[in-house]
Each structure stands twice: as C-alpha cells, then as structure tokens.
Structure 1
Amino acid sequence: MLTFLQELLDKGRTPSMLKVYVAAIAANHALVAGQSVGKNDLVVKFLRGAQRLNLPRPHSVPTWDESLEPYEALPLSRSSRPICGTYRSRLPSRIGIDVWLLNSHFSQQVFKIHRSKVDDEKCCLLVSHLLDHPSLQELDFSHNHISDRGARAIGKLLNRSQLKRLVICNNQIRGLGAQALAHALSKNTTLMSLNLRLNHIGDEGGQALAQALVKNKTLVNLHLGENNMTEPTAVALSQALVENRTLKNLNLSNNRLGVDGSKVLEEGMSHNSSLVECDIRLTDVAQDSEYCTNQIQAARKNQTQL
C-alpha cells in the first residue's frame, strides 16, 4: 500500500488525490488488524507527510467541450475513453487513475466513495474508468463536492452501465446537472433507485426529472428531499404520476411545494396506481392535503398486502 502511494506521489499526484485513492481502496478492502486500511497508522503518517511537502497541483482535467450538444450521446468504443466530453486514445499519466486501482480494489458490482471531497475533476476521472466495468450495479458518490459537470459525467455512465442504484446525495448539483441526469434517466432501462437529496436542483432540475419519469419504466425509488423545489415541480410531478406505473417511493420532504402544489400533487396521486409512499413532510402543504395524501398511501399499502 505504501509503495503504491509513494509511486503515485513520485508521479506528481496531489495529497488530496492520494486521499481519494486511499478512500477508494479502504471502502472495498478487507479490514487489516480490525481496522480500515485508511486508518492504519503508517498510511495516516504517509498522507500527513505528503501534505507537508505541499506539492504543486497538476494541470486540471480538460473541461467539457462546449461545442457539443448539452446531452449529445457520444459513441463509445473499447479503444477510446471519454474524458469530460473529449476523446483520448489513452489516459495521460498525469491525470489518469491507475487501472490497477479500479481492477483490484473494488467489487465488480458496488463502488462507494463518499465523504472524500470528490469534485468534478476527480468524478470525471473515476467515471472514465468505471465505463470499463459493465457489471457495476451500485454507485455511491454521496457527501462530496460534485456539481453539474460531474453530474453530466455520471449521466453518461448511467446509460453505459447496468446500474441499479445511484446515490449522489449531499453534493452541489444544480439545475443543469439534474437535466443531464434526467436525460439519461429517460432512456435508462436498469436503474431502480436514485437518491439526489441535499442538492440544489431547483425547479429547473425537478421538472426535468418529472418529465423523465413519463418515459422511464424501471425506477422504483426517487429521493428529491431538500432541493429548493417549489410548486412548478409539484405540477410536473403530478402530470408524470398520471403516466408512470413503476415508481413506488417518492420523497419530496423539505421543499417549498406550498398549498397549491400539494393539491395538484394529490390529484396526480389519485390517478396513479403504483405509488405506495410519498413523503411531503416540511413542504408548506395544507393540513387537509397532507391528510388526503396519507389516506391514499394507506389505501395503496393495504392493497399491496392483500
């Protein structure tokens, strides 16, 4: 482990990037002496020493090619890997994540790296290699610093994998990032659970996701809690619920849906036969609307138990 980290340091990796490597390995590596490898004394001391060296930051990863259409589907071949919207025959060593890391240190079905300060640059790097793992079923990037550019990269991965569960809660994703995810979701045929709580997608992103639900036929759980969404999103979701027949759990808590928004949402639920649970706590809804919503949910749960 220390030899590997030293090699990365010699190649010019920053201390923060070393921490990403350690977090990725620790999340999927067996415990050593009863503790995570990330908490091993020697590893901790090595990271502190690397931090004290204050190495210069390598050149940042190229930004998305703005000449491309916002959600253009790019063809993918085994000989080329997309990095943030541009093509490269191979990853330059100064920005590439070693294939050894992803091939040897994470489950073929689950990849989790949370609370690791992963930003858009690191997210794009990780996603570019995850494209080589079609068996990946669960991806967890929660509690990081991912914004719209990283969300777009994840959207591209969404339709080039067999993901069933995606968790990107508590990041910095806004409307444009949510639109990219919605575009991917409208074409996706495998994802069953999407957790976007504690972001900033607003009505721009909320309405886009609602429109995606009209076309999507696989999503069962959707968490959009605390995302600065208001009445327009409630209206869009109400219209989507009339068409959608697969969504069972919808969490809208801690948004400002308002009295009118809750009434429209209630109307949509009355025409939907699949939704079992809709969390509208702390959404400024009228008491009678919350009561009616609870009654509809109770009736659905009773039907599913019969």
Structure 2
Amino acid sequence: MDSHQDMIYLYHLSPDIVYLMMSQVLDIRTIKRISIYHTKITKDVILLVSHTITNNTSLEVLAISINSINDDGVIALAQSLINNKTITFLYLGDNPDITSTSAQSLAELLLYNHTLSYLYLHHTNIDTDGVLVLMESLRTNNTLRILYLDKNHEQTCSSLPYYKTIENRLSFV
C-alpha cells in the first residue's frame, strides 16, 4: 500500500486485505482517489463495501486495473455506483476478465449515473455485442465525456448511424 494525503494505492493484495482496507479507507472523507492494481477484487468484496461506495462523498477517482476485476465484480460495482454523486473517473482498463457479460450493467450505469465523466474499458475482452450495448447508452447519456475502448472497435462504432453524435466522446486506444 502506498498513500498520499488524499490517495490510496493498493498493490498485490489478497481479497480479504482489500476488503479490510476498503472498509476503512472509504470512511475517510478526505480520500479522493483509490487505485488497485494486480489485486483480485471479488464480487463479495464489492458487495460488502457497496453501501459505503454508494454513499461516499469524497471519492472522485476509482481505478481497478491490471488483472484485478472480472465480470461479476464489474456488475456489482456498476450497481453500487448508479447513485454515487462523486466518482467522475472510473478506470477498469487492462482487465482481460471483463467481457460483454458486464456490458449491460455498465450501460445501465451510464443511463442512471450523471456524475461519471470518464470510463476506461480498453484492454478488456468486451466484444462487438458488448460495445454496441455501450454505444446505445451513449445516445441518452450526456454527462460521460470520454469512453475509452479498444482500437479494434473503432470501425464498428464508426459505422453506427448515430456515430456523428457521439464520436467526440469516444477514444480508441
């Protein structure tokens, strides 16, 4: 664990340790950023801290990256963030266990959460069907500034009839 005054970085930890840390950290009202790398975050951990995530009033950035979360975790996380009013930056990139299975939950997050501005989903295994679900949610979401996706989805997205209305909010990495 590495800590600055308003940031917490968790590296190479067990799910149990992450749960204990997150339970404590989310109660600290000055923490603005939590970054978790190389640490498996299970659905159970997300569910255990979901009430705290939903009601947290200081956290602005949540990064769970590099083989740290799978579809079950993303689905639980998306549910806990639907009513969150402070997180503007959600980084879920570099997680190959994220697939199209969680795309519907992420799309619902984009439909109901009006705070999230940046969503990173590059270097995941979300396929074309999942990307199309996400694109549909961008048609009604006006608050997400940038959605980061894998470069291989650029052609699919650019062929959508409404692409011109959302193209400035997409970044292909």
Root-mean-square deviation (CA, aligned residues, Å) is 2.5
Q: Which residue of 1 aligns with 2:43?
A: 175
Greater relative CO (CA pairs within 8 A, separation 6+): 2
- Compute the displacement of 1:290 (Å): 5.7
Q: Which residue of 2 aligns with 1:240?
A: 109
Counterpart CA distance in 1 for 2:134 and 2:40 is 27
Letter aligned with residue 116 of structure 2: L
Letter aligned with residue 298 of structure 1: N
Counterpart CA distance in 1 for 2:61 and 2:132 is 26
Q: Which residue of 1 aligns with 2:127?
A: 258
Kindly indicate whether residue 18 of structure 2 is the aligned counterpart of residue 151 of structure 1.
yes
Q: Which residue of 2 aligns with 1:194?
A: 62
- TM superposition score normalised by structure 1: 0.49
Aligned residue pairs, count: 166
Q: Deviations over 1:164-221 (max 9, x none)?
A: 1111123233333344444431121110001111133211100011112211011010
Q: Is the 2:19–2:48 contact (alpha carbons within 8 Å) kept by the matching residues of 1?
A: yes
Please give the secondary structure, in 1, of the residue aligned with 2:71: helix
Greater Rg by CA: 1
Q: Is the 2:146–2:169 contact (alpha carbons within 8 Å) kept by the matching residues of 1?
A: no
Distance verdict in 2 for CA 1:187–1:262, change over 3 Å: same
- Sequence identity (%): 27
Structure 2 residue aligned with 1:298, among 158, 168, 172? 168
- TM superposition score normalised by structure 2: 0.83
Distance verdict in 2 for CA 1:184–1:291, change over 3 Å: farther
- Compute the displacement of 1:274 (Å): 0.8
Counterpart CA distance in 1 for 2:144 and 2:94 is 20
- Compute the displacement of 1:157 (Å): 1.8
Q: Is the 2:36–2:68 contact (alpha carbons within 8 Å) kept by the matching residues of 1?
A: no
Structure 1 segment 26-65 matched on structure 2, within 5 A: none
Structure 1 residue aligned with 2:92, among 224, 232, 236? 224
Q: Is the 1:155–1:184 contact (alpha carbons within 8 Å) kept by the matching residues of 2?
A: no
Q: Which residue of 2 aligns with 1:204?
A: 72
Counterpart CA distance in 2 for 1:254 and 1:260 is 16
Q: Is the 2:82–2:109 contact (alpha carbons within 8 Å) kept by the matching residues of 1?
A: yes
Q: Is the 1:214–1:240 contact (alpha carbons within 8 Å) kept by the matching residues of 2?
A: yes
> Could you list the runs of 5+ residues in structure 1 that have no partner in the other structure?
1-19, 25-110, 113-135, 301-306
Counterpart CA distance in 2 for 1:252 and 1:181 is 22
Q: Which residue of 2 aligns with 1:268?
A: 137
Q: Deviations over 1:246-283 (max 9, x none)?
A: 1111001111111111111001111111111111115x
Kindly indicate whether residue 28 of structure 2 is the aligned counterpart of residue 166 of structure 1.
no
- Compute the displacement of 1:148 (Å): 1.1
